[in-house]
Structures are given as C-alpha cells and as structure tokens.
C-alpha cells in the first residue's frame, strides 16, 4: 500500500500510532486523523517546498512573516471496510500518510491526503484541505507566491490543475 502512495503523493511519511491516539472505542478516530493530516501538511511544506524557496519567500510562506498560508477548510472521510464499517486503526500499527497539491488558483490551493494502515494494508481515511495565502504585513489576501507555485509543480507526481 505504501507503493500506492508513492506513485500519487509528493510527500509520503510513516507515523507510528501511539497508545494515546486511540479514542474511547479503542481506535484512532477522526480527530486523530485530522491531526495526522495536519502533520503531513506541515511536513509537505517543510520537507518539500521550503528547500526550494529563497530566504525572503521562505520567511513569509513557511514562517508566516509576510505572505503566508492559512487553512481555510478541511474535510475527512473515513474509509469503509468490505463489511461496510469504518476502518479503525488500532495500536500497535503505523500509518503511511500521503500529501499532495491537486489545484492552484490565485490566492489558494487544494491538497489531498491519504492514510494507509501498515498492519492491515488498506486505506483508512482520505482528507482534503483548502489553503489560502494571506499577507500578514498588509493584513490582506495575497496571491500564492510564484516561487511557491513553481516549487509545488516541481515536487508533484501527478498533474496539478491551475485555475486562473
């Protein structure tokens, strides 16, 4: 299943499930998966995008000093098993997380996420997020910096839709 992620997602990372990640029903629920997708989103920027940016754009976009990014919306869908139940992740296990940018448009971009259970070898959740860019100095919306757009296009393994 990790191979599925490596063909479609720019970022692939392994995250061990911690005992404290489980909810009262003994599984990793949506709240945990939202947090793990957040970790994948941050890793995407830190590991893949940041090294391709000039120090000025890096300071703004990665560190929020100038034109940076803000999470506008996020959604999560738990995958279902063949029996029609949610695929629950239980300790001990590790999740393979994938993150990719799927579309860019002016002052925003959309990303998709996927979580795969290493133990069960199946997808357990999908996520989607819209991230907007904001100029923290001018306190106003701003377009995605061209350097960031070029970095995203360079790291992606699947085509990114560019809307104008």
pLDDT exceeds cutoff 90 at 15: yes
Which residues pair with residue 161 across a beta bridge?
Answer: 103
| Predicted model pTM | 0.93
- Tens of pLDDT, residue by residue over 75-103, are 999 998 666 566 678 889 999 999 999 99
Mean pLDDT of 26-42: 93
- Tens of pLDDT, residue by residue over 44-59, are 999 999 999 999 999 8
Closest CA to 38 of 103, 131, 109: 131
């Amino acid at each position: 299943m990790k191979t599925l992620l490596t063909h479609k997602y720019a970022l692939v990372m392994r995250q061990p499930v911690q005992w404290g990640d489980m909810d009262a029903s003994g599984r990793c629920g949506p709240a945990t998966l939202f947090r793990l997708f957040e970790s994948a989103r941050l890793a995407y920027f830190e590991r893949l995008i940041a090294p391709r940016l000039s120090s000025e754009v890096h300071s703004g976009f990665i560190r929020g000093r100038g034109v940076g990014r803000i999470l506008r919306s996020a959604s999560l869908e738990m995958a279902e098993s063949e029996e029609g139940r949610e695929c629950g992740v239980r300790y001990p296990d590790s999740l393979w997380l994938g993150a990719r940018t799927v579309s860019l448009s002016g002052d925003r971009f959309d990303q998709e996420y996927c979580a795969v259970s290493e133990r069960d070898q199946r997808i357990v959740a999908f996520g989607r997020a819209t991230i907007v860019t904001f100029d923290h100095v001018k306190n106003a919306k701003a377009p995605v910096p061209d350097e960031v757009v070029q970095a995203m296009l360079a790291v992606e393994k699947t085509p990114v839709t560019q809307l104008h």
